[in-house]
């Protein structure tokens, strides 16, 4: 018999997929320029010019076998060293090449680290709203997903709720700041409190509770907001990073896992990461992309575009009477549905050819997500439709 869990996962269409199909249908019916699709987190800002220049240079100068051949399973050592050096420069850390394992992006990083950590009966805490794939990654690693609601107003961590969710079975806590879908960035105060609570529980239970920092949006922050570097606050932190959003390279599938020397059983955990990569068949992230990210360390796609989009859509929607969480980072706007059922709101928005994502699958019913990593022109053209939507609810 075929694996039933996988069959179901393969057959179950995500809401975003449904919206995508519907948007395509509408584009064919009324013209692409009249459909306002805010469903996908696919960056529309081009990769920095140096990324394409690095690819060209590699093609012109590197030996084919070296450029397209296998690297070591955990990634080429000079690449990992270049990334470690860059992190040390930016965050005052002391990482080295063997703290890093190159992956096909954050999704692969998360899956590998969860497999590497999992034992029977383990629980993994996530904060709502959360990236829906966490549920897939955690449960298919044989662990239980424990959802902890964030503070209703600030969307920072609700520490009373977290304190009662942590149990002796808690193996890991996943944080994602800047957050998909809320755009919220955890403050240093939140991070300090989180570190204190986890440290206290580690002592009480006599085992490690790993903090998994999923940070594909780390560099996507506005107005000079700082994103605390979590390994500096909490010893048992591992980082899952991706270049998908920071360098606008989601299709190139490149990222890494960072296992610092200080984490509990660091050598064994790194070995388990290598083992999980092997078991999943994920060894050797794309060779050319490894070299590209090593050559362009510290670079970021043009944030001014996202900031302009953020200001445009946040200001307009709040003016029209919608309640929105102010996004300090990432490229999503989290909007409270004017009626309790966010799916009904999403259906209503479709009548104005606005494609929004109801947030039920993010664990926070009553909200929709707007991905503003789209053209500024499309946002401008969509505003009359948002105004009509607001008026249909009597918001203005
Ligand atoms: N984690 C979060 C919070 C995301 O939003 C995404 C993608 O949108 C991922 C992980 C996966 O990213 P990647 O493309 O690097 O696999």
SS3 sequence of 32-95: HHHCEECCCCCCCCCCCHHHHHHHHHHHHHCCHHHHHCCCCCCCCHHHHHHHHHHHHHHHCCCC
Express each pLDDT in 318-370 by its tens digit: 999 999 999 999 999 999 999 999 999 999 999 999 999 999 999 999 999 99
Residue-level pLDDT at 20:
84
Annotated domain spans of the chain: 4-48+301-392, 69-295
Is residue 211 predicted with pLDDT exceeding 80? yes
Strand partners, 240: 214, 257
Location of structure tokens 């961590």 = 157
What's the mean pLDDT when you consider all of the chain? 97
Is residue 141 predicted with pLDDT exceeding 90? yes
How far is ligand 1, taken at its centre, from the CA of residue 338, in Å? 28
Residue-level pLDDT at 316:
98
Residue-level pLDDT at 191:
98
How far is ligand 1, taken at its centre, from the CA of residue 167, in Å? 27
Those residues whose C-beta lies under 8 Å from the C-beta of residue 99, and which sit 6 or more positions away, are: 80, 84, 258, 259, 260, 261, 270
Those residues whose C-beta lies under 8 Å from the C-beta of residue 307, and which sit 6 or more positions away, are: 222, 223
Q: Which of 16, 41, 131, 252 to mutate to test the pocket of ligand 1 (most atoms within 8 A of CB)?
A: 131
Q: Which of 106, 241, 253 to mutate to test the pocket of ligand 1 (most atoms within 8 A of CB)?
A: 106
Express each pLDDT in 55-103 by its tens digit: 999 999 999 888 999 999 999 999 999 999 999 999 999 999 999 999 9
Is residue 166 predicted with pLDDT exceeding 90? yes
Contact 89, 111 (CB under 8 A): no
Residues above pLDDT 70, as percent of the chain: 100
Residue 241: φ, ψ to 5°: -115, 155
Residues above pLDDT 90, as percent of the chain: 95
Residue-level pLDDT at 254:
98
- Four-way CATH pick for 4-48+301-392: 3.90.1150.10, 3.40.50.720, 3.40.50.2000, 3.40.50.300: 3.90.1150.10
Q: Which atom of ligand 1 is nearest to 250's Cα?
A: 14
Residue-level pLDDT at 66:
87
Q: Which of 175, 244, 361 to mutate to test the pocket of ligand 1 (most atoms within 8 A of CB)?
A: 244
Express each pLDDT in 246-298 by its tens digit: 999 999 999 999 999 999 999 999 999 999 999 999 999 999 999 999 999 99
How far is ligand 1, taken at its centre, from the CA of residue 161, in Å? 26
Average pLDDT of span 100-117: 98
Q: How confident is the model at residue 236 (pLDDT cuts 50, 70, 90)?
A: very high
- For ligand 1, residues with CB inside 6 Å are 41, 105-107, 131, 176, 180, 214, 216, 242, 244, 250, 255
Residue 389: φ, ψ to 5°: -60, -45
How far is ligand 1, taken at its centre, from the CA of residue 206, in Å? 32
CATH 3.40.640.10, applies to 69-295: yes
Residue-level pLDDT at 13:
76
How far is ligand 1, taken at its centre, from the CA of residue 157, in Å? 21
How far is ligand 1, taken at its centre, from the CA of residue 393, in Å? 33
């Amino acid at each position: 018999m075929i694996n039933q869990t996988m069959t179901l996962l393969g057959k179950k269409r995500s809401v975003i997929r449904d919206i995508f199909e519907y948007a395509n249908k509408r584009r064919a019916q009324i013209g692409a320029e009249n459909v306002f699709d805010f469903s996908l987190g696919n960056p529309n800002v081009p990769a920095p010019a140096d990324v394409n220049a690095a690819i060209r240079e590699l093609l012109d100068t590197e030996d084919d076998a070296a450029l397209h051949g296998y690297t070591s399973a955990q990634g080429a050592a000079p690449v990992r060293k270049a990334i470690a050096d860059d992190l040390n420069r930016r965050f005052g850390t002391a990482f080295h090449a063997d703290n890093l394992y190159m992956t096909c992006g954050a999704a692969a990083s998360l899956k590998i680290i969860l497999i590497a950590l999992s034992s029977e009966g383990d629980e993994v805490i996530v904060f709502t709203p959360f990236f829906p794939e966490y549920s897939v990654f955690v449960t298919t690693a044989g662990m239980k997903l424990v959802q902890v609601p964030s503070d209703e107003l600030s969307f920072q961590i609700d520490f009373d709720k977290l304190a009662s969710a942590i149990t002796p079975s808690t193996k890991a806590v996943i944080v994602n700041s800047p957050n998909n879908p809320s755009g919220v960035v955890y403050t240093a105060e939140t991070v300090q409190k989180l570190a204190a609570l986890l440290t206290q529980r580690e002592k009480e239970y006599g085992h490690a509770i790993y903090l998994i920092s999923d940070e594909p949006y780390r560099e996507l922050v506005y107005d000079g907001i700082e994103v605390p570097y979590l390994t500096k606050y909490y010893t048992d932190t591992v980082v899952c990073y991706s270049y998908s959003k920071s360098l606008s390279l989601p299709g190139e599938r490149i990222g890494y896992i960072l296992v610092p020397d200080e984490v509990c059983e660091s050598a064994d955990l790194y070995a388990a990461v290598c083992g999980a990569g092997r078991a999943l068949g994920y060894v050797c992230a794309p060779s050319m992309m490894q070299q590209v990210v090593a050559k362009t360390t510290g670079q970021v796609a043009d944030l001014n575009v996202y900031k302009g989009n953020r200001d445009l859509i946040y200001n307009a929607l709040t003016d029209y009477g919608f309640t929105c969480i102010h996004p300090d980072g990432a490229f999503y706007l989290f909007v409270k549905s004017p009626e309790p059922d966010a799916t009904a709101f999403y259906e209503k928005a479709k009548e104005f050819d606005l494609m929004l994502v109801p947030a039920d699958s993010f664990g926070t019913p009553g909200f929709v997500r707007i991905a503003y990593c789209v053209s500024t022109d499309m946002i401008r053209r969509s505003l009359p439709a948002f105004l009509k939507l607001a008026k249909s609810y009597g918001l203005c």
